[in-house]
């Protein structure tokens, strides 16, 4: 027997934080018509400005209005990813609410599907994003009423990724992700809400960053 889906009651909200790139993205919604989303191109100022921006963005809601938090867990900027995850964990721990750590690549796939009507539910979505040392981050997903991971996030050489795509048995839509990722925070929140509706309640301790590579240098 499938569990009954969870829904917000209209009075509670969900908050999403996307800090894995120089473009910070924040979104808040009660999934009943009241929602807003905003991005800021902060660059290195992300580490000093995030908390002040977040405190202003959440208004007129209060922290106690939150039912859960979602955060981009990476891959992406090492510093930005760490700051975003730590912030989401702190909020969830203080409020005793769940925190959903969502892949940056999964959010990009969901964002592309939301704004591209030509992508059918039968089409796999392949995502690639520049990584360090000549590699790329890559993953493949199936998106319909839920997200299914077909190829988990990994750092690959361009040659290995091309070989994977050439041998992929299903039709796919390829997304090349830029370094400005904040706009996909709305998709990040939607993916978290899908998990929330399943009755999942991940704790703050379960929200862990995915760096994909050992950070040698980091621009943000």
C-alpha to C-alpha distances, 59 to 28, 83, 90, 179, nearest whole angstrom: 10, 21, 19, 28
Task: Tell how far CA 107 is from the center of its chain.
Answer: 4
Global pTM?
0.92
The CATH code of domain 13-103+180-206 reads 3.30.420.40
Q: Give the bridge partners for 126, in sequence order.
A: 140, 174
Closest by CA to 191, choosing from 57, 14, 9, is 14
Within 10 angstroms of residue 216's Cβ, the number of other Cβ atoms is: 8
Q: If pLDDT is split at 50, 70 and 90, which confidence band does 186 have?
A: very high
Please check whether the domain covering 104-176 is classified as CATH 1.10.565.10: no
Q: Is residue 219 very low, low, confident or very high in pLDDT (cuts 50, 70, 90)?
A: very low
Q: How many CB atoms lie within 10 A of CB 121?
A: 9
All CATH 3.30.420.200 domain ranges of the chain, comma separated, are 104-176
115 pLDDT more than 80: yes
Radius of gyration of the chain from its Cα atoms, rounded to whole angstroms: 17
Domain with CATH 3.30.420.40 in the chain: 13-103+180-206
Alpha helix (H) residue ranges in 169-217? 185-197
């Amino acid at each position: 027997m499938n569990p009954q889906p969870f829904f917000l009651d209209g009075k509670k909200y969900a908050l999403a934080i996307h800090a894995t790139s120089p473009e910070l993205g924040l979104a808040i919604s009660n999934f009943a018509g009241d929602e807003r989303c905003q991005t800021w191109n902060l660059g290195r100022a992300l580490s000093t400005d995030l908390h002040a921006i977040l405190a202003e963005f959440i208004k007129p809601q209060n922290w106690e209005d939150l039912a859960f938090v979602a955060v981009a867990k990476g891959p992406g900027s090492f510093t930005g990813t760490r700051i975003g995850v730590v912030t989401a964990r702190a909020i969830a721990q203080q409020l005793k609410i769940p925190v959903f750590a969502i892949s940056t690549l999964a959010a990009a796939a969901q964002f592309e599907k939301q704004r591209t009507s030509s992508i059918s539910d039968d089409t796999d979505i392949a995502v690639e994003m520049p990584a360090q040392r000549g590699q790329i981050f890559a993953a493949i997903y199936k998106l319909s009423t839920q997200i299914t991971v077909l190829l988990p996030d990994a750092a690959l050489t361009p040659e290995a990724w091309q070989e994977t795509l050439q041998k992929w048995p299903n039709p796919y839509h390829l997304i090349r992700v830029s370094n400005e990722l904040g706009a996909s925070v709305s998709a990040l929140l939607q993916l978290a809400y899908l998990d929330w509706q399943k009755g999942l309640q991940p704790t703050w301790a379960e929200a862990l960053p995915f760096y994909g590579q050992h950070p040698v240098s980091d621009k943000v």
